[in-house]
Amino acid sequence: MSNEHGNLIKSPKQLIIMVFASFFVPLIIILLLMVFVNNGKRGDSTAATDQLIKPVAQLNFQGASAGPHEPQTGEQVYKAVCAACHATGAAGAPKFGDAAAWAPRIAKGYDSLLTSVLKGKNAMPARGGSNPADISDYELGRAVVYMANASGGKLPEPKAPDAAAAK
Phi-psi region of 11 (alpha: psi -120 to 50; beta: other; left: phi over 0): beta
In a domain, 60, yes or no: no
Domain for residue 65, yes or no? no
Both 42 and 117 in one domain: the answer is no
Question: 124 forms bridges with which residues in the sheet?
Answer: 121
28 and 81 both lie in a single domain: no
Q: Compute the half-sphere exposure of residue 61: CA atoms within 13 Å on the CB side of its CA.
A: 3
CB 72 within 8 A of CB 158: no
- Same domain for 47 and 104, yes or no, is no
Whole-number mean pLDDT of the chain? 78
- Phi–psi pair at 124, nearest 5 degrees: -80, 125
By residue range, what is the domain housing residue 87?
Answer: 74-166
Quick check: 155 pLDDT over 70? yes
Q: pTM, whole model, 2 decimals?
A: 0.56
Rounded distance between C-alpha atoms, residue 44 and residue 38, angstroms: 14
The pLDDT assigned to 164 comes to 42
Q: Which helix or strand (DSSP H or E) is residue 6 part of?
A: none
Domains contained in the chain, number: 2
Residues 150 and 84 in one domain: yes
* 140 and 88 share one domain: yes
| 21-73 confidence digits (pLDDT tens) | 999 999 999 999 988 887 766 666 677 777 777 666 556 666 555 556 678 88
For 87-94, what is the mean pLDDT? 80
Residue 65 DSSP class: S
The answer on 84 and 151 residing in a single domain is yes
154 & 81 share domain: yes
